[in-house]
Structure 1
Amino acid sequence: MPPLPPPTTWTSAAVKELKAKLRNEKDSVVTVYRGDIMTVHVPTVPEAKRVCWEFATDGYDIGFGIYFDCTPVTSRSITVHISESSDDEDEEEELEGRLAFKKLDLFVWPLSNEDVEKGSKSNTNSNLAEILPVYRQDSHLSVQGGSHDFPGEGTYLLKFDNSYSLWRNKTLYYRVYYSA
């Protein structure tokens, strides 16, 4: 997939106003637990030309990035997916890694280009294009917003990344909408 143009982004000091407005809307206030990534899947629709977003958090920052999957749309529903981490699974994997190290006298560190501090650069899905790499946003200090013109049919993936946080869950106030 060819590189896509960057989104239009902006910030606003109206954090209290956005939070007050979204508190009364269903599914607009969620908790992104420590270690988790919440992905909002937003399909393109023929009635609109762009996707728009706004978000803020309580107290702390959160990672945010946008991707576009050019696979044909099969559903017009906006859906949310959570990638969960489990301390138990992590401990089991760490123990298995130690056993493998003792048995083989060799340990290979997993490599990943996904670093919420530095931005993400890797894509394994050829239908997936990065529009905005995941970076930590000061969404507790100002509303983070933006829009992106549809490059064609497909689905936007808006990633809210709290995987870097060991201790803090994040309360996220967000809305996603279409514009003509």
Structure 2
Amino acid sequence: LRTAMEKLEATSQLQSRLSSLSFSSFPGITAKHGCTDGSVLMCTLASLIIYTFNISILSLLQMPPLNPPTTWTSAAVKELKAKLRTEKDSVVTVYRGDIMTVHVPTVPEATKVCWEFATDGYDIGFGIYFDWSPVTSRSITVHISESSDDEDEEEELEGPVSNGDVEKGSKTQTNSNLAEILPVYRQDSHLSVLAGSHDFPGEGTYLLKFDNSYSLWRNKTLYYRVYYSA
């Protein structure tokens, strides 16, 4: 009985708070003809839903569709690794459970971004996203993140990667300005060089993700380079 009374009291308090809402609480929403004091709450909520829907549509219209990247492979794995060993910061270790994201802003002097990478011994997940947010820095930066502790991780397979084997460790993107160019898939980068390019869709920042979050035991040695092309 006490629990029921508490629930009833909480419901009454919620109704009281909702009843205090007015159209002035929501920018861009005005009272509609025929909304009396008794129906003002329902009118306000309906207008809020429509307002939110319109904002969502406008956001989508401001983000044009992205073309798929141009990708290719090369058998010159040894040659690429030998070359990148001589270049600074081109050989890195992506530790087990980690995701390395390379942020590559667009620049006025170029029209596309290009990439090449390979790994020692085992595959790695790879995907590309584009952030439409205004560019505040022209520097290429690297960010490391760990997979969530409560994710359902599995040990990586040592055999060939099946087509459509989406990287389970990939995190859901929450940035509304973020668009997917290439979803994260496990790539046989230990067998061949993975390379590609993408034409700038506008101003923004590319996010190249090297994903080792699915691996419980193995760190991955990654050889990569990212560069611009006119």
State how far apart, in whole Å, the 2-side matches of 1:91 and 1:145 are.
27
Deviation at 1:90, TM superposition (A): 11
CA distance 1:167–1:66, change in 2 (3 Å): same
User: Is contact 2:122–2:220 with CA below 8 Å preserved after alignment?
Assistant: yes
Secondary structure of the 2:92 match is: strand
Secondary structure of the 1:152 match is: coil
Deviation at 1:3, TM superposition (A): 2.6
Sequence identity (%): 93
Deviation at 1:32, TM superposition (A): 0.1
Deviation at 1:111, TM superposition (A): 24
State how far apart, in whole Å, the 2-side matches of 1:114 and 1:71 are.
30
CA distance 1:115–1:84, change in 2 (3 Å): farther
Deviation at 1:48, TM superposition (A): 0.0
- Structure 1 ranges of 4+ moved more than 6 A: 86-97, 110-115, 118-121
State how far apart, in whole Å, the 2-side matches of 1:130 and 1:59 are.
28
State how far apart, in whole Å, the 2-side matches of 1:141 and 1:95 are.
15
Superposition RMSD on alpha carbons, in Å? 6.1
Q: How does the TM-score come out when normalised to structure 2?
A: 0.64
User: Is contact 1:54–1:145 with CA below 8 Å preserved after alignment?
Assistant: yes
Deviation at 1:95, TM superposition (A): 28
CA distance 1:123–1:85, change in 2 (3 Å): closer
Which runs of 5 or more structure 2 residues have no equivalent in the other structure?
1-62
State how far apart, in whole Å, the 2-side matches of 1:157 and 1:137 are.
17
Deviation at 1:126, TM superposition (A): 1.6
Secondary structure of the 1:96 match is: coil
**Using CA pairs below 8 Å that are at least 6 residues apart, which structure has the higher relative contact order?**
1
CA distance 1:88–1:158, change in 2 (3 Å): closer
Deviation at 1:116, TM superposition (A): 3.7
Across the two proteins, how many residue pairs are aligned to each other?
168
Deviates more, 1:122-131 or 1:74-83: 122-131
Superposed CA offset, 1:84-112 (max 9, x none): 35879999999999xxxxxxxxxxxx999
Larger radius of gyration: 2
Give the structure 2 partner of residue 172 of structure 1. Answer: 222
State how far apart, in whole Å, the 2-side matches of 1:38 and 1:22 are.
18
User: Is contact 2:77–2:191 with CA below 8 Å preserved after alignment?
Assistant: yes
CA distance 1:124–1:141, change in 2 (3 Å): same
Which runs of 5 or more structure 1 residues have no equivalent in the other structure?
98-109
